[in-house]
Amino acid sequence: MNILLNEIRRSLVELQMGLEGALNITDQMEALTQALSLARTPPKWAGVAYFSKKSLEPWFVDMTERCTQLDEW
């Protein structure tokens, strides 16, 4: 789960920097933007996450609930 959370944070920070002009927009940033705008789980995130056919919002809710469960242990 840490790998997934790190990838989400890294890619979103990188995208924000790209949108602010601090970095050049890459193909990966473009794919992330497109997936987010279509409410789909970005391919890079899905590659390090558990299998799910859910769209982005239910997938994200499920992921946060899983993190909460792990945190309670």
Residue 73 pLDDT exceeds 80: no
Q: In terms of Cα–Cα distance, which of 39, 38, 37, 31 is closest to 14?
A: 31
Query: For 5-44, what is each residue's pLDDT tens digit?
Result: 999 999 999 999 999 999 999 999 999 999 999 999 999 9
Prediction pTM value: 0.86
Report the alpha-carbon distance of residue 73 to residue 60 in Å, rounded. Answer: 21
